[in-house]
Chains A and B, each alone.
Chain A
């Protein structure tokens, strides 16, 4: 019995940091409507700076002072970020905000390694809380007891701040109606900045307070942000009480999950989240949101099928690509195969996010599942390559069917957070379930059969599949199903009013996109000869998002161009610099702020300008229509 009580208390102690970070995220979202992906990065910087300060200054004052100063310093960094970056993207669609702050996260990951080195840093114990308390023969660290008390205290302070101060009243008012607050003479800019500062302070404090419990390392940002997303999805985005209750719930589930499913403890959290989403899609303490801004929607250009000339041009480009083996060497062909595979991956995400308006932040899960599917079939069942290629993607299909069912219950940022959390869960299973997946060592030795073994043959295979997939999805865009899907994207209510079952259409799109990604993953497994948990990781999911964005979210086939340019750039960059995340992150931020329409989108605008200047008749069609809001 005492053991379970101790386990419970450990869970409560873990909840404290989680609550601090999650409440900060919630507060920021409430007012600015931005889901701050960089929140985990601020948590991590808080831990690193607190580590440095507490090492430098000794004694109780050095420790506690260091923790608070670290949080304040990070809040200051947050203010700079808000003023320089976020102020430019407050009116952008939410996808751009998520991506922009994700780019920032990538940059921070490389920066902390540059400053503090790649090794884990073990911090000091907290003065006054070094020992443990005996509880019926079980030890409870006294620092844990401190954290258990701290959680409710912070909750109380936040409650007072929001209920009893003018600033709190203004923040609550702005959460409901930002423009009206401005129309009453309040400077929104500084209100936003101060809210962001408070939110970042909480995240950094959460990180700083972790140093006596956990080593500081440069991947702690992603781990916490996924947990925080789960917490706010369960608790309800924008609710501080919800963040507290859900943080406790998730921490306890983690603490006891280990006892029930030692290998895959995260399953328990997933099951609870699934139940909450079915019963209350907006979280335990959240409120149903009004329809969110649409993901694509800077402008809406009418989509049309290719003209016959354009078809010829596309065919010519394909023929030229198919001639690559005539003059390129093996390395170039392998790169070519990889690019073709990523074209498949990118168009599958594009189908979901541009056609369906559902921006998934965890699309790599289905890519990776396809790869694992092939690995299981080839290594365990010993099936021939053709059969593996045909059946492997079905694992991606099944994953998409299960997760997609829950994900399409939500939309907008909730959808993005949920898909990310699902992907991370799949990753954890691949990583933890060593007996089946090989864990971190992956599954090796998946080589293509003779007919596809040579680089040129494999290249033709990948290119051919990529072309077929792209054509098939294009046909789907202009099919009745595509019309229905686009209708649900543009207005769920209106599409339901004309008899479209929106959820089912979106679920189908999710499954199609997941299966297609799985096809890419299946080829990828054969290209690399192995599968690893990274094939399902967040960074791969974000690669896909950047490809779509780079090509142009609002275009029909920009993703193809985006995938080619981005992947080539990426491969080149990794060979040139160790700081690829820093460069890549900066690149993402740049696209979001300066080129939100992507390459193909820019080309379309240029083409339209030219068209507009010659025949003056069709100016109405060529003019971008502002998203109706």
Chain B
């Protein structure tokens, strides 16, 4: 397994947010984490990369337990994270944003260069020197993914990549994710949009109120419309 999460519990202050979350991701697989707003998708991702201080549980990445490591070490091990809010450095240019994400080559992961990323996201190549603050939402979404890929991750946590994007940009996003998969990057993508998830994912988990309540292939999910209707808004 590429990534195995077991018994993950997280708290914000006195509030218990995640309850015994567990899921796994195979080598080169694309797994969707589906759930409504506030179900705990983002908190799951933030907990995995160590951005939530109060968390417990086991997070095995490439066979090693990374749950005790600080964020930057987890990321340097090859576990990339793309936040939902995008968090572009607005004062920095596109090229400088990419530079912040740059990490050395990794033997077991595809190597991304600026040129390769500009080929994947042609819009970015046309605005290398534009400050991040003067880009559209879709362009920022591309930049935040490209920035994480500059770290040559072997697995990426993609938090709601289709949120708030126009249908045309969503199409580009699907192509980009499929290209990443083809290159060999394992991906966990959190989504509210089942149609989008179906286009890219091999398997899916459903999270509701901080608990995993379904896990299986996309076909298995389609066979259970009751679960789909109870936990996802379509």
Check if B14 sits within 8 Å of A173, measured CB to CB: no
Which one of A176, A179, A183, A623 lies within 8 Å of B89 (CB-CB)?
A176
Q: Which residues of B contact A186 (CB under 8 A)?
A: 72, 100
Is A492 part of the contact surface with B, judged by Cβ < 8 Å? no
Main secondary structure of the interface of A (DSSP, over half): helix
Flag B37-74 by CB within 8 Å of A: 1 or 0 each. Answer: 00000000000010100000000000000000011110
- A626: interface (CB < 8 Å): yes
Interface residues in A18-38 by Cβ distance below 8 A to B read: none
A177 within 8 A of B: yes
With A185-B151, A626-B14 as contacts: A176 and B99 at CB distance below 8 Å: no
* Complex CA–CA separation, A187 to B69 (angstroms): 12
Bound Cα distance from A170 to B103, whole angstroms? 13
Q: Mark B87-127, 1 if CB is under 8 A from A, else 0.
A: 10111100011011111000000000000000000000000
- From known contacts A182-B71, A185-B76, A185-B151, infer whether A625 and B14 are also in contact, taking CB-CB under 8 Å: yes
Q: Are B151 and A173 in contact (CB under 8 A)?
A: no
- Report which residue of B76, B100, B101, B103 has the largest number of chain A beta carbons within 10 angstroms of its beta carbon: B100
Q: Which of B13, B81, B97 has the most CB of A within 10 A?
A: B13
Report the Cα distance A183→B83, complex, angstroms. 9
Number of A-B contacts (CB under 8 A): 65
A185 to B90, CA, bound (A): 19
Partner pick for B75 among A170, A172, A185, CB 8 A cutoff: A185
A30 to B28, CA, bound (A): 40
CB distance from A201 to the nearest CB of B (A): 24
Partner of A187 from the list B12, B72, B99, B100 (CB cut-off 8 Å) is: B72
B72 touches A176 (CB 8 A): no
Q: How far is the CB of A285 from chain B (nearest CB, A)?
A: 13
Q: Name the distance in Å between A61's Cβ and chain B's nearest Cβ.
A: 38
Interface residues of B, CB < 8 Å — how many?
28
Number of chain A interface residues as a range? 20 to 34
Per-residue B-contact encoding for A275-299, CB less than 8 Å = 1, 0 else:
0000000000000000000000000
- Contact assessment for A184 and B100 in the assembled complex, using a CB-CB cutoff below 8 Å: yes
Nearest CB of chain A from residue B105's CB, rounded to whole Å: 13
Task: Let me know if B90 and A173 touch, CB within 8 A.
Answer: no
Interface set, chain A 167-207, CB cutoff 8 A to B: 169-170, 172-173, 175-177, 179-188
CA distance A179 to B49 in the complex (A): 11
Residues of chain A contacted by B147 (CB below 8 angstroms): 184
A56 close to chain B: CB less than 8 A: no
Residue ranges of B at the interface with A (Cβ–Cβ < 8 Å): 12-14, 49, 51, 70-73, 75-76, 81, 83, 87, 89-92, 96-97, 99-103, 147-148, 151
CB-CB nearest 9 A-B residue pairs: A626-B13, A185-B75, A180-B87, A182-B71, A185-B76, A173-B100, A184-B101, A173-B89, A182-B72
25 interchain pairs, CB-CB under 8 A: A169-B96, A169-B99, A169-B100, A172-B91, A172-B96, A173-B96, A173-B97, A176-B90, A179-B51, A180-B83, A182-B70, A183-B71, A183-B75, A184-B101, A184-B147, A185-B72, A185-B101, A185-B103, A185-B151, A186-B100, A188-B72, A623-B14, A625-B13, A626-B13, A626-B14
